[in-house]
Amino acid sequence: MTELRGALIGCGFFAINQMHAWNDVEGARIVAICDRDPERLDIVGGQFGIERRYSDAEALFADGGFDFVDIATTVQSHRALVEMAARNKVPAICQKPFAKTLSDAKAMVEACREAGVALMVHENFRWQTPIQALRTALDTGAIGTPFWGRFSFRSGYDVFSGQPYLAEGERFIIEDLGIHTLDIARYILGDVSSLTARTRRVNPNIKGEDVATILLDHENGATSVVDVSYATKLSKEPFPETLIELDGAEGTIRLRQEYGLEITNAKGTTITDVSPKLLSWASRPWHNIQESVYAIQQHWVDQLKRGAEHSTSGADNLKTFALVEAAYDSASRGQTIDVGAML
């Protein structure tokens, strides 16, 4: 099997996970890295033994010699870098949040479509082992047709020490974390036709909202609630678990804290341990996210080789990103937003 050569742009906090995962992925390896911060370039280059190092993405593309690019920078640079990849006819992975605005996101999808290159958003949460197990249970008819859901992420974990920029933006939890929860809601209950949201800031030391409650009307008639908070202090900290409740015509599913998947139907109740693996380079409590980074990167390689669409393609992610914009719009205007009209 030919090995794909990748280049990674952005050697910050989260890129360390991506670099470890690339070491484990079959069929690809990273041959060049880029960061405008020389210190980060040295740290990541040294840790992962990468000789080709660039401080400027244009220079990286000019030298070429890679089959795809993995963009792990923060959102400000995503549009420019994805369009650079498209101009250079290089397939691209882009970290979430995909773009600053939905219109930027649409332009990025269009640029890659016109260039004929694959584009995947690194929307990894749907690849978590517990989320995949829940989806399999639903697909195998364990509870019949679902009509209601709750997708909940409530935590008091300090995310600001590792990612200080999260405290500084006008927008926080919906754009940073709720984006994943909204994507899981779409992945489990299908696309969304309209949405109503309320937000709050509880932590006085940050700029954006740290609590959001979002009501979703799904196209298939199901209703769900996405509730996210970084202001919730619990006796047992659940970070970074998404807890899920699903009611179906023939039963219920509960994804409980500490990775118990409880299914109740006419046959009775079963509880299965759907814990993620602790990969050799992973550490608790991040291992759930870290394993999903490996899974999405392996999916990127497998689909790229087959020439097949990615689960979280740029086009798919427009439908998740629209929910983020709609949630901010709804919260600021106090109105329900027609999501279909945005796409």
Strands 243-248 and 251-256: antiparallel
Q: CB of 5: closest distance to ligand 89Y in angstroms?
A: 26
Residue 159 binding: pick among ligand 89Y, ligand NAD, none (C-beta 5-8 Å cut-off by kind): ligand 89Y
| Interface contacts to ligand 89Y, rule CB under 6 A | 159, 163, 176-177, 180, 240
Whose Cβ is closer to ligand NAD: residue 178's or residue 248's? 178
Q: Provide the token pair at 230.
A: 């970084």
Helix axes 129-139, 287-306, angle to 10 degrees: 60
Whose Cβ is closer to ligand 89Y: residue 17's or residue 88's? 17
Phi first, then psi: what are they for 6, rounded to 5°?
-115, 155
Peptide bond into 204 cis (omega under 30): no
| Nearest residue to 81 via CA among 117, 57, 54 | 57
| Binder among 20, 79, 96, 254 for ligand NAD (CB under 6 A) | 96
x-marked contacts with ligand NAD along 109-148 as a string, rule CB under 6 A: -------------x-x------------------------
Whose Cβ is closer to ligand NAD: residue 165's or residue 168's? 165
Other C-beta atoms within 10 Å of 211: how many? Answer: 21
x-marked contacts with ligand NAD along 273-312 as a string, rule CB under 6 A: ----------------x-----------------------
Whose Cβ is closer to ligand 89Y: residue 171's or residue 180's? 180
The reply on whether position 92 binds ligand NAD by CB under 6 A is no
Whose Cβ is closer to ligand NAD: residue 271's or residue 278's? 278
Q: Provide the token pair at 145.
A: 């047709």
x-marked contacts with ligand NAD along 145-174 as a string, rule CB under 6 A: ------------------x-x---------
Q: Distance between CA 318 and CA 316 in Å, rounded?
A: 5
Q: Using CB under 6 A, which residues numbered 41 to 60 contact ligand NAD?
A: 57
Residue 8's SS3 state is strand
Angle at CA 193, nearest 5°, toward 190 and 198?
Answer: 100
Q: Distance between CA 160 and CA 284 in Å, rounded?
A: 17
Contact 336, 196 (CB under 8 A): yes
Q: Provide the token pair at 190.
A: 């299908």
Task: Please give the single-letter amino acid code of residue 291.
Answer: E
Q: CB of 305: closest distance to ligand NAD in angstroms?
A: 23
Which residue ranges make up the site for ligand NAD (CB under 6 A)?
A: 9-15, 34-37, 40, 57, 72-75, 77, 95-96, 122, 124, 163, 165, 176, 289
